[in-house]
Structures are given as C-alpha cells and as structure tokens.
Structure 1
C-alpha cells in the first residue's frame, strides 16, 4: 500500500518548468502579453455588462407570469451565468475579428480563453441535469478539469500523473485517475438513469390499464434497477473488479439485517402492500384515530392526508400488522349510519317516512341505493331510530355529509311537528318524616 513518489515528482517538475517558461514569456513585451491583457479586459467588460443588465433582466423575468415553470427555471439558470455568457460571446467575436484583420497567432491565447469559457459554460449547464448537489459538484469539477487539460493539450501528462498516484489494496490497484473516472462516469450514468426513470414513470402513470398500486410498484422497481445498473456499470467501466465485492456485500447484509430490522420490515411490507393491492393512492382509510386519504406510497411509509390538512407518515409495517379500514377497497360505495330519537307522541311510521325523504334530499346521498330507517329500541325518553344511507365519494369527507343529513332531519321534523325529546327528571321534596311535602 505504498506510493512511489519519484515518477510523480519528475512529472510535476516537468510541469513546473513548462509553466515557468510560459510565465517568463509573458513578462516580455509582445503579442502574448497583449493577448493576456485583452482577455483580462474582456473579463472586466463582461463583468460590467453583467452588473448593468442584472437588474433589468430580473425585472423582465418577474413580469413573465404566464411562462411555464421549466422555462422560468431555464431563464434563471442562464441569468445566473450571464457574466460567463457575455464573456464567451465577446471573446469569440473578438477572435473572429482578429483572425480577419491580423495573423492567427496573434489571437491564439484569446481563442484558448474563449474555448475554455465556452466549455466551462457547457459543462455548467449540462451538470444541472444531476439532481444530487454533491454528485453534481463532483461531475462539474471533474469535467471542468478534463476540458481544461484537453484544451491546453496536457491531457496525457495529467492522466499519467493521476495514474501514478495510486495505492494497492490486495490485488486491486486504485489510482486517482480511476476514482475520478468512476465518480464522473457514475454521475453521468445516474443522470441518464434519472431521466429514463422519470420519462418512463410518466408514461406508466398515464396508462389507465395498470392499477395505481401496480404503477407504483413498477416505477419503484424500475428506479432501483436503473440506479443499481448505473453504479455497477460505472465501476465496471473504469476497471474495478466487482467479484471482490461479493464477500463484502454479504457481510454488510448480515450487519444490516441485525441493525436495520425495522427499516427492512417496512421495505418488505411496502412491497407486499403493492403486490396484494390492499391499498392504493386515493383510497380513504382509517387507522386508529387517523382518517384520511392516501396521498403517496413510499418505500418506507405511506403518506395519509387528513381533512384538516395534516399529513401522517405511517410505516408500512403498521398497515400490515394493524387493522385498517379501507373505505374504498373493493368498490366505491360507503354506507353511513345516523342514530336519533323522537318523542313517543309521534307516529313511528311518519317519522321513518320523513327521515328517508330528508336524507334523500341531500345531494351526496345516493338515490340508486335509497336510505332506510328502522326502529331500534324504546328508550327512557324517546323512540330510537337508525338511518342508513350510501355515498360514493368518501374523499369529500364523512362528517360534513352526516352534518348535512342531520340538518335535513331537523328541518323536516320541524315542518312536520315531530319532536326530538330530551331527558326530563322530576324532583320531589320530602319532609322530615319521609312523606312528600304538600
């Protein structure tokens, strides 16, 4: 695991000598020094123009309210790189003019600066496709270093230095160049996998022949497969031996099995939920005191949104091991019950008829499955009834439709003279002998 510093030092000394000779040539008057001054002047001019255009450009962008989000995002990304864009445009314009009016050698350094700036701009814009910030930074800096070395013509020398900067781990030799290639290539493959997964997921969700739960399962399996393939292809492409990872992955799997039992249980439970289609996005469920509709199915949890706007993240294991009420599992019909009582003086036949008509007048109550009303008992103060009716939209809420039916009952009973009794108690005072007073 030792690194021989001799080849690396020799190559670095050669680089240092070339850089010293180039810097020494810049100190003498001539076109090289003039071109450096021109590049510095172009950078200053681009900076001044960027400062002058920044505020008007922001104001103009704020006035584009009708634009789609992606177009506004692209415009904002370009606006943040306005200085570099201006420098590239000015530099290439000047290079074209100088090559037309003077010798090409007198615009050589300006052309290199313009090429480098254009390459850096392209890398910065392309790297925005990488979502992960850390991975995006690695890919950006790796590509910036590569295009810089490529434009300057020192790619082979730099690659030789990075290749010599290596360590031996058993039978595997890991060099700085290998690690850099693996990071950049894996980042690019991850970006390609993300784009493929996003486009494929949109098409799968648009296919109405696939159930919502199967859509979620297919999308998640596809994403895991693409990202795993990106990692393995990236490592394989740079020459990393993957056979030695088998024992290590087995040991890690044993450790994870003991330390992450709950996480693994939730992951497996999530797959079971998707396979047996017991719940799906849009279903209305009750779990304990939580009542709401399923917003999303995650790998570890299910997102349930309640009527008051709260979002509960329920572990998948709880949905497997606990009793869950799915109001819309096999069909969309949901029956609701309302209990009420009327005075003994009111005719039960009339009460039942009025109650059914009142419930049927509520818009959300189904007419195809008409409400029914039954006498369920004779209480201390009232004749007790149960009113049953059906709805097909539990996602719109249950309490509000019950409240609407109660209000309809109140209005109908008031119109028909039907009384809703309340408990009454008679208080009698006794004298000292225990006899009623008076």
Structure 2
C-alpha cells in the first residue's frame, strides 16, 4: 500500500477547523468583557452558590423525610434517591429560570441571552441525568449520559457543524474505503439505538412466549433464542447499512472468521449445536430432574453453551451441552413425573414374612408423598445369614422435592411399625466354640488370671 493511500489526517482541513474554533472562542471571551455579559456570568455564579447552600440545607431534611417513607413502592423511592442526589442541579435550574423570566419581563431580552443559554444547558443536562437512570448497565448508562451531554451542549452552542467537520477530517483510507471518526460515531450511535430496540422487542416477545402454555418449555427456550439471534443480527446489519458500510466487503472477512472459529473454538461450537439439538428433541426441559454422574438435581435454565442444574444442597452446576448429548443422562421426569423408589431391609427368621410384608406396605402408605393410586409392594428377595431380606417399592410424583428425605421417612415409618407389632430387625451374630483341651486367658488391670 502506497504512503499516499494511508494518509491519516488532512492537516490543512484540521488546521482550518481549529483556527475557526479558536476564533469563535476569542469572540466569546471578548463578549464576556461587555458589561451585561459579565453581569450575567456573575448572576449565574451567584445562582449556583445559592443553589449549593440551599441544597446543603435541604438535603438532610429530605433524607429524614425519605426514611419515614420506607413503605413506599420501589419506583417512588428510586425517584426520591435521584432527586436527593441531583438536588443542587434541580434548585439551580429552578432559580436560573426564575431569574431569566424576571429579566425578560423587566429588561431587554439581550441582557438575559447568556443566562438563557446556561439555563437551557442545565435543563438539558438535568433531563438527561434523569432519563439515563432507566438504563440498568452502569457502563452503558455513563456512555449514553456523557455522549448526550456532549451532543446537547454542541447543539445549544451551535457548534455541531464544526464538530462534525472535525470528526470527519480525522480519517484513514484503506483502499477505496475511507473510515472517519465521524463514521465510527454514527455507527456506534445507530447500533446502540437499534440494539436497544432489539433488546426491548426481545424481552417483550420472550415474556409473551413464556406465558403461552400451549408451547412446551423446551420449545419456548428455542423460540426465544432464535428470536434473539434474528433481532440482534438484523439490528447489527441494519446499523452497518445505515451508516454506509459496504456489507459485501464483510463476506470474505466473515468467511475467514468462520473458518478460524471452526478450528479454534470447536468446543464452543459443539456446545452451541448441542444446545440446539437438546431444544429440538425435547430430551430435557426446565424443571426436569436429572442425574449425570454424581450430579443430581433439577434443570434451572437452558443456555446456549451450558445447562444450569441446581442440586438439593443449593449448588448450581453449569454442565456443557455436549456432555448431555454424548453422556448417559437419567431424566427422572422425561415422559412423566412418576418415580419408583426401592428400599431394602431385613427381619428375623422368627417373624412371619406374610405379616411383615403387610406391615411394611401399610407403613409406606402412611407416608406423605407416597402415591396411593400406585400402591407400594413388598417382596422377599433372599434368605441372608442373619435375616430374611425384603425389598419395599413405592411411587412418588415430585422428585424435585428430594429422594433421600422420602426414603428416610419410609425407613422411620417401618421402624415405628415394627416396634409396634414386635417385629425385630436382627444384627449379625457369631458363635465361638472352644476346642477340647484349650485354655482361656483373661487380663484384668494388668493382672493375668490363668485357667
């Protein structure tokens, strides 16, 4: 690329703009030396000092009054907090407009021109400060606030044309494309507005989709994700098109980026594709209870890269979508919410097994969460060394309520029932036989007693 093609700054044009701005600044400073302009500056400083003193006097009293209104709705309290923080600016705007209107009533309008400009600036800044509080992201709120303050200040001072020429002169040339700072600012503002609109439409549509009970939870998540991709993609390309960026030049670049992403971010792409597959085949959905390895819990949300699983102890596991596709997953509530649980126990050989089975079934029926229309069953599964071994099976319909706790309740019900009916739970017993002619020695407090 030739040096002429990489010319970054047209120096003559920048110098011309700078000289024009310096000339206007000199005229403004010379105007301040006129008597009434100086008077207006002094009046504005006096109003600011009065607003500062009045705010220092009213701010503690407003704070005490706010504390007495703790039961108010949150939006009212937020407005009061903003008013408390911006009290000096509010008082300054009110006082300066009172002075401007009074001077227009009793003197020539030209003698209050500078005060009116200051009042317009202060009012615009105050309005922007209140309006930007609606933006939740602190960084974005600060960028919008200072950007709006700059644009309003330039508009009120009639410096927008000079600022536009200065930003447009700061440019670089890349082949046939000229990229200026003004074009970057236009693109940033346009994209910000379009993305904000896309975000609002996405949130509104997502809430409507979630309220539609005819759509399954997994399809709701898929529809919301597709809608977000469509809206944000449209906003991005529309923003570039509106600012004059040639989209055909991005085709080769996007293809190269796609190839690089395919090789360098295989796991990320695999998780994204796996997430789409999970949503399409409806294998899992929010609210399902799953087991994956040692992790047991219910699905809190489905993301583009991972699935959030919350366990009974409050831990939240972020499991990559690829693991759910390639690994073995136990979905306790895939086709229905009914779950069968098994517990094992044993009784002594002296107890009647027919009676033990009936007692165990009745004990399980008396526990909460055990389903009655799917009655428990009890079977003998073997004859052990010390006990007759049984299995008790029962059904529940709310696995999200936990499995260990219901097993513990059934065991406790069995214990109470066996104690009531005299059923014993044996423990291993061993017999020791002495061979003829052998001796037994015991030790007590260090002394040895033989034979």
Give the TM bin, normalised by the shorter chain.
over 0.9
Distance 1:60 1:244, change over 3 A: farther
Counterpart residue number, 1:385? 390
Shift of 1:174: 1.2
Counterpart residue number, 2:448? none
Counterpart residue number, 1:144? 149
Shift of 1:50: 3.1
- For structure 1, which segment, 187-196 or 355-364, has the greater mean C-alpha deviation from structure 2 after superposition? 187-196
Whole-Å Cα distance in 1 between the matches of residues 95 and 282 of structure 2?
61
For 2:284, which of 279, 282, 286 is the aligned residue?
279
Whole-Å Cα distance in 2 between the matches of residues 140 and 101 of structure 1?
36
CA contact (8 A) 1:135 1:187 kept: no
For 2:43, which of 19, 30, 38 is the aligned residue?
38
1:12-411 equivalent positions in 2, closer than 5 A: 12-28=18-34, 30-411=35-416
SS of residue paired to 1:226: helix
Whole-Å Cα distance in 1 between the matches of residues 291 and 332 of structure 2?
8
CA contact (8 A) 1:302 1:315 kept: yes
SS of residue paired to 2:286: coil
Residue by residue, what CA displacement relative to the aligned partner does 1:81-133 show, whole Å, maximum 9, x if unpaired? 33323322222222222222222212211111111122222333333444444
* Corresponding position: 1:424 with 2:429: yes
CA contact (8 A) 1:139 1:184 kept: no
Shift of 1:74: 4.1
Any stretches of 5+ residues in structure 1 without a counterpart? none
Counterpart residue number, 1:5? 11
Distance 1:299 1:381, change over 3 A: same
SS of residue paired to 2:343: strand
Residue by residue, what CA displacement relative to the aligned partner does 1:394-413 show, whole Å, maximum 9, x if unpaired? 11111111111111111111
| Two-structure CA RMSD over aligned residues (Å) | 2.1
Any stretches of 5+ residues in structure 2 without a counterpart? 1-5, 441-450
Shift of 1:26: 1.2
Residue by residue, what CA displacement relative to the aligned partner does 1:252-271 show, whole Å, maximum 9, x if unpaired? 11111111111111111111
Count of residue pairs brought into register by the alignment? 435
Whole-Å Cα distance in 2 between the matches of residues 428 and 243 of structure 1?
96
CA contact (8 A) 1:138 1:183 kept: no
Residue by residue, what CA displacement relative to the aligned partner does 1:40-76 show, whole Å, maximum 9, x if unpaired? 2222233333333333434444444434444444443
Whole-Å Cα distance in 2 between the matches of residues 66 and 224 of structure 1?
41
Whole-Å Cα distance in 1 between the matches of residues 375 and 76 of structure 2?
52
- For structure 1, which segment, 136-145 or 404-413, has the greater mean C-alpha deviation from structure 2 after superposition? 136-145
Shift of 1:16: 0.4
CA contact (8 A) 1:197 1:226 kept: yes
Shift of 1:241: 1.4
